[in-house]
Amino acid sequence: MTDNLDNVLLIALADGALDKFIVGEPFYFQEAKRDTDEPQNVSAAFNLLVLDYWTKTKDKTFPGELVTAMLIVLKTYPDKNRAIYAVSDWIWLYHDCLAQKRLNPNGKYRELFEMDTDVVAGMLKQELEVNKAELITDTRWGGASWNSKQGLWEPLMRLASWVRDKLEGPNFVPNNL
């Protein structure tokens, strides 16, 4: 674990700004080379920072802090679509890592923490239902025309279905498909 100013997770934890880390606000954004623009590079943030922090500290409060931060983002973040998109990505990645842990118990994710994401998924499902029209017209990130005909809605539906059907994760597929 890096104890310097490059570790935005440690800074977010010290600042009480884990919610800002979740959505990748400037300063709490994890940089990495990618071909596409994203609000937070969740894969890099998780693998380089979250997993490393957990492996080295085993901070028992940390999984709950992540859940709380995701709930805060969904409840209060001013850019609802960014909040929904980022939290969906975190839920997907976490459950993908859990699936990898089950497939390879001695692999990279062997020490992955347990985190109950059901309450987050429930709130996420509600936010998806309420914000459907705005998500359909939002062409940022994965909602760009090269990836979707319905803005952020289409990739979010693919992700929600994948988490539910392939990763055995919580169901946040909206009822108003």
pLDDT tens digits, one per residue of 45-91? 999 999 999 999 999 999 999 999 999 999 999 999 999 999 999 99
- pLDDT of 112 > 70? The answer is yes
- pLDDT of 36 > 80? The answer is no
Residue 51 pLDDT: 96
Global model pTM greater than 0.85: yes
Token code pair at residue 116: 């109950």
Secondary structure E strands in the chain: none
Residue 32 pLDDT: 57
CA atoms 107, 112, 118, 120: torsion sign: negative
